Amino acid sequence: MLEAPGCALAPKQRADAMTAHTLQLIARPVGLPKDSDFALIEAAPREPAAGEITVAVSHLSLDPAMRVWMSDAKSYWPPVVLGEVMRAQGIGRVIASAVPSIPVGALVNGMVGAQSHYIGPAAGFSVLDLDLLKASGVPSPTWTLHALGATGMTAWFGLHDIGRIKPGETVLVSAAAGAVGSIAAQLAKQHGCRVIGVAGGAGKCAWLMDELKVDGAVDYRAGSIGAQISALAPKGIDVYFDNVGGEILDAALARLRRHARIVLCGGISQYNNTERAPGPSNYLAMISARATMQGFVVIDYFDRYKEFALAMGALIAQGKIVAREDIVDGLENFPAALRRLYQSQNLGKQLLKL
């Protein structure tokens, strides 16, 4: 049964009766983010002004890109300002509203920030339609933070619009046991592709084979990555969905078929580097392969959510998509939960429950 996720506050509780906590970014991390890069502070509640809502946040999405937002590197979004709440997408229940179209009690999804209560503009927030979610068989509204949300959209548009996958093609997906990768691997399978997933460790590779039903799994911690890819795809790769960069990208570059496409989704192996990473040494292989490599950012596809949700909702309703949630409890554990992504500890989507 579809149930609303637990919220820290009951729907009718007012702003003046609540204790709110905010996690501020107070230092730009060097290497892996540390607890001391953040400060957990008690925030002063206020009533929402016109056009604003108050949301009791129940779950946050933990995303590798957070490490990029924490730095002052040029990116598709400006850096999080020091002393301000850490940027994060999440879901929660509206407990006060000055927006006629968003009633108190509604469940919403938006950029709530790493805090127990979001108080601010309703612009950019979507009200979750629980009946619609139920019709697609989604077990929890938290799925709008992964399979049926930006994670799923990243996999969907990355494969179809950037990778232009075709049935019968061989698709290699890195970080395949993670949030985006696990969905990308399954969507490529559903499309009739031959899918090889890359993950760290025998346990994750077994999960790829047994649960996601990929055609082959490469354990990048167990011997030569290139030799393992060659054994599973002797004729080469048509599409590489790259979530990792580094060594795995280099191994894929050396095994491209003619007119191969590289979908540059992310490069998590590089996000905590303290020095500029060397470029991929095998990039010249793209010339003879007549290959293309294209980056993309999912936010550019948000206006196509309906198209995605219809197709993805149907696959989920037919039981064709496995999605796993990896949940850590407590706002104070945000830094530790974030580190799990870079330390390969998560399986499926990393969430934080408040």
Ligand X SMILES: NC(=O)c1ccc[n+]([C@@H]2O[C@H](COP(=O)([O-])OP(=O)(O)OC[C@H]3O[C@@H](n4cnc5c(N)ncnc54)[C@H](OP(=O)(O)O)[C@@H]3O)[C@@H](O)[C@H]2O)c1
Q: Answer whether 256's CB lies under 8 Å from 278's CB.
A: no
Binding flag, residue 325, ligand X (CB under 6 A): no
User: Which span (61-69, 111-119, 120-128, 225-233) binds ligand X, by CB under 6 A?
Assistant: 61-69
Beta bridge partner(s), residue 115: 22
**For residue 23, which of 93, 84, 91, 89 has the smallest C-alpha distance?**
84
Binding flag, residue 64, ligand X (CB under 6 A): yes
Judged by CB, which is closer to ligand X: 11, or 200?
Answer: 200
Stretch 249-268 residues interacting with ligand X (CB under 6 A): 265-268
**For residue 209, which of 182, 244, 233 has the smallest C-alpha distance?**
182
**Dist. CA 228–CA 205, nearest whole Å:** 13
Taken in order 267, 269, 274, 279, is the CA torsion positive or negative?
Answer: negative
Which of 56, 102, 147, 199 is close enough to bind ligand X by CB under 6 A?
199
Other beta carbons within 10 angstroms of residue 23's beta carbon come to 22
Stretch 98-157 residues interacting with ligand X (CB under 6 A): 154
Shortest distance in whole angstroms from residue 288 CB to ligand X: 27
Binding flag, residue 202, ligand X (CB under 6 A): no
Which of 181, 216, 280, 313 is close enough to bind ligand X by CB under 6 A?
181
Shortest distance in whole angstroms from residue 49 CB to ligand X: 32
User: Which span (31-39, 93-101, 119-127, 292-300) binds ligand X, by CB under 6 A?
Assistant: 292-300
Q: Name the residues that contact ligand X, by CB under 6 A.
A: 63-65, 154, 175, 177-181, 199-200, 204, 243-244, 265-269, 296-298, 341-342, 344, 346, 350
